Structure 1
Amino acid sequence: MRLIKATKESIPLIQDLARRSWESAYADILSLEQMDYMLSEMYSESEITSQLENPDYHYYLILDENSDSYEGFIGYEHNYEDQTTKLHRIYLTPESKGKGLGKSALEFLNEKVSQHGNKRIILNVNKNNAARNFYESQGYKVYDEGVFDIGNGFVMDDFLMEFLIHT
């Protein structure tokens, strides 16, 4: 596996990978209307461009070197809070799950966060998303929960998780 820094030219690929992974990950959790709304808001060209222009926000594409195909991406933001990096998104296509790509991507994130000097990684995960088990297997712990209004009559009902960097 290789992680490749995303650029503005990567936006259509990020959008495609997001849709493919969401259709699998959220099929039994979110309505099609909420999924379409969230994808159009969170993965619009202008939204991703704005994130790519933020020096603290980083996107990396996950390349499976065995199949020579892009299988997902990770997006995170240093200094989201004091000494804290937020993992905004990590998604893998359904066919790539179970290959160790997610674990390797989180190990990569841990290195980047340590190099940057942050001491904590936080993320939100839908309360009904099995990914919570994956995060817990990688040392993340639930520290809170919240319901967040995201507009258009939709909410995100999430666990808030954290991972403490030990240097």
Structure 2
Amino acid sequence: MKLIKATEKDIPMIQELARRSWQKAYAEILSDGQMEYMLSTMYSAEEISGHLQNPNYHYYLILDEATDSFDGFIGYEHAYENQTTKLHRIYLVPESKGKGLGKKALVFLAEKVAENGDGRIILNVNKYNEARKFYESQGYKVYDEGVFDIGNNFFMDDYLMEFIIHK
């Protein structure tokens, strides 16, 4: 596996990888309307471009070197809170499941966070998303929960998870 820093030219690939992964991950959790709304707003070219222009926000494409295919991406923001990096996005296409790419991406993230001087990683995960079990298997713990209004009469019902970096 190789992680490649994303640039503006990679926005269409990020959008396509998000759509492919969401269709599997959220099919049983979100309505088609909410999924389309979230993809069109959170993954608009303008939104991603804004992230890429923020010096604290980073996107990396996840390349499976064995198949020479891009299987996902990770997006995170240093200094989201004091000494805290927020993992905003980590998505893998369904056919990449079981290859260890998610685990390796989280190890990469922890290394980047430690290099940056933050001591904590936080993320939100839908309460009904199986990904919670994956995060827990990697040392993340639920510290709170919340319901977030994302507009258009849609809400996210999430667990808030954290990982403490031991220095």
Q: Please indicate the TM-score interval, normalised by the length of the shorter structure.
A: over 0.9
Amino acid at match of 1:98: G
Task: Report the counterpart of residue 2 of structure 2 in structure 1.
Answer: 2
Name the SS of the counterpart of 1:139 in structure 2: coil
1:147 Cα deviation (Å)?
0.1
Amino acid at match of 1:50: G
Task: Report the counterpart of residue 131 of structure 2 in structure 1.
Answer: 131
Structure 1: 5+ residue stretches without partners: none
1:142 Cα deviation (Å)?
0.1
Task: Report the counterpart of residue 152 of structure 2 in structure 1.
Answer: 152
Name the SS of the counterpart of 2:18 in structure 1: helix
Task: Report the counterpart of residue 109 of structure 2 in structure 1.
Answer: 109
1:59 Cα deviation (Å)?
0.0
1:82-101 maps to which residues of 2 (within 5 A)?
82-101=82-101
The alignment's TM-score, normalised by the length of structure 1, stands at 1.00
Equivalent residues, number: 167
Task: Report the counterpart of residue 143 of structure 2 in structure 1.
Answer: 143
Structure 2: 5+ residue stretches without partners: none
1:159 Cα deviation (Å)?
0.1
1:40-69 CA distance string (max 9 Å, x none)? 000000000000000000000000000000
1:56-95 maps to which residues of 2 (within 5 A)?
56-95=56-95
Task: Report the counterpart of residue 29 of structure 2 in structure 1.
Answer: 29
Identity %: 74
Task: Report the counterpart of residue 15 of structure 2 in structure 1.
Answer: 15
- RMSD over aligned CA atoms reads 0.2
